[in-house]
A = this chain, B = another copy of it.
Amino acid sequence: MSDNHKTKSAASDLPELRIAYIGGGSLNWAVRLIGDLAAQNQAGGAGFAADLRLYDLDHAAAERNARLVGRYAAEGAPLRAEASRTLAGALQGADVVVVSILPGRFDDMAQDIAIPERYGVLQAVGDTVGPGGFVRALRAIPMIADIARPIEQYAPNAWVCNLTNPMSTLTGALYSAYPGIRAWGECHEVTKLRQIIAWLANRREGHLRWGFRDVTVNVLGINHFTFVSSASVGGIDMMPVYMEFARERLATGWRATPRDPADEHARYFEDENRVKFDLASRFGIAAAAGDRHLAEFLPQSWYLDRHEAFGFGLTPVDYRKRDQAAKRAQAEALDNGAPLAPAQRSEEALVDQLRALAGQGMHLSNANLPNRGQIPNLPQEAIVETNALFTGLGVQPVVAGALPDALAAVIAPHAMRQTALVAAVMEERWNDLFPLFVTDPLVAPLGTDRARAMYDEMLQATAAHLPEELVQGAA
């Protein structure tokens, strides 16, 4: 740690990190993190203890999470937690801040998707780019700025992990509101490609030897539109193997296990890697994120219009609501005494990253950071996703090299609009927003007039979460 906050855990000889967790009533990330913290000694190497300060607008949710921590602690995990009533209280003394908020309700998200759909614009996720990602950013940037400023005041040297989407713009908003912040944006999408490569490496050896964590990849791109230029397993260059496999499976796609037609979650969240394979053949570099995300950065005619043929679904917000209700029920059951399953390490990298920040070894994983040379053919200071090194010194980006030219020309305008969107919202230049909206490749084909009508309709639908001047301009 670069400051001296870190102390030793009372209950153990381990270094202890104080972690402020902001949000997380979403039930998703918070519970997984708690499980990973409890399970962390499974990862091998020395671990760390954690003192969690949980802050959520829904204080009851924070308290429920604190009780969950307590149950793991009772079983010996080096954890403690308390729910904080104020943001300042949670931040004070924090070594690490985790930001995981929901920008607006699912009903807002539903409108982000439904309104464009009426204009003929399809979105598979709707939280990153395209009209949905744009309007979600409009709601979220001020919320994130309202978290960054107290971080500057109460925990200026803390390491700050953003888990909230849209990742690029919101990580950018953290840096815009507090330029000295030590923040990175964390996302697990690249895992998907690493799992395919691990499968290929195992096939090559004839037995199960490698997991995705054994696959070292060089990551380049922006969040949810990430690529991998080289991959190594046990010192073997796996890229030729992968590219050959992608060519072979271009027409059929591939999954590690067959899809269960009854599995609604799989239908909406999983894919057959056909977009990945197609992009690899187009641009000569492996695409890394999930197909639903990749598709949204490109003209609708490429993949979204043919999403069924390409084997991926458009996630309905309706399903998200049902899924959330189920998770809430689980959490409440757990809180009411349902038996606690043994902690199991998830596929998330956050706890590995925290352990390295606690000075227990190094960790390399992809992270979203301002571009300071990582990718020379994307704009400086745009938020890019490449490998970053986590050590006791903090988070440092690794120079990844250049993207293929044609791909850089696809990614750069997205990155430029993301940077400009953050700046326009932070500086309250409301009139500068529509030119950014209308030039997104999912919006541009509508023409300027229909795009404007759609934009105004979308702002009205989520007006409760937007500044008044912005909505009035749209009225």
Binding site for B on A (CB under 8 A): 1-4, 6, 15, 48, 216-218, 230-237, 239-240, 278, 282-284, 298-299, 301-302, 357-360, 362, 364, 372-374, 376-377, 379, 387, 389, 391-394, 396-400, 404-410, 412-413, 416-417, 419-420, 423-424, 431-432, 435-436, 438-439, 441, 444-448
Contacts and interface: CB of A to CB of B under 8 A. Distances in A.
8 contacts: A235-B392, A283-B435, A299-B445, A405-B417, A406-B436, A407-B435, A408-B416, A441-B444
A301 B237 contact: no
B406 A439 contact: yes
Given A389-B389, A405-B419, 20 more contacts: A1-B236, A2-B230, A2-B239, A6-B236, A234-B360, A235-B358, A235-B360, A236-B392, A299-B444, A301-B445, A302-B444, A372-B373, A397-B399, A404-B435, A405-B417, A405-B420, A405-B423, A406-B420, A409-B417, A409-B420
A124 to B, nearest CB: 17
Nearest to A408: B416
Given A216-B391, A409-B436, A432-B406, A234 B399 contact: no
Nearest to A450: B301
For the complex of A and B, the 3 pairs showing the least CB-CB separation, nearest first, are A373-B373, A235-B359, A232-B392
Given A278-B448, A364-B362, A413-B412, A2 B237 contact: yes
Given A2-B237, A230-B2, A391-B232, A439 B416 contact: no
A428 to B, nearest CB: 15
A301 B435 CA distance: 16
A398 B400 contact: no
Contacts of A404: 432, 435
Chain copies in the assembly?
4
Given A278-B448, A435-B283, A396 B399 contact: yes
A132 to B, nearest CB: 19
A424 B231 CA distance: 25
A398 B387 CA distance: 10
Contacts of A231: 393
A246 B377 CA distance: 36
A417 B406 contact: yes
A393 B216 contact: yes
B235 A393 contact: no
B399 A374 contact: yes
Contacts of A234: 15, 359-360, 392
A135 B416 CA distance: 28
A405 B235 contact: no
Contacts of A410: 413, 439
Nearest to A406: B435
A400 B407 contact: no
A242 to B, nearest CB: 13
Nearest to A440: B409
Contacts of A374: 373, 399
Contacts of A398: 389, 396-399
A444 to B, nearest CB: 5
Contact of A405 (B233, B394, B432): B432
A49 to B, nearest CB: 11
A6 B413 contact: no
Contact of A435 (B1, B282, B400): B282
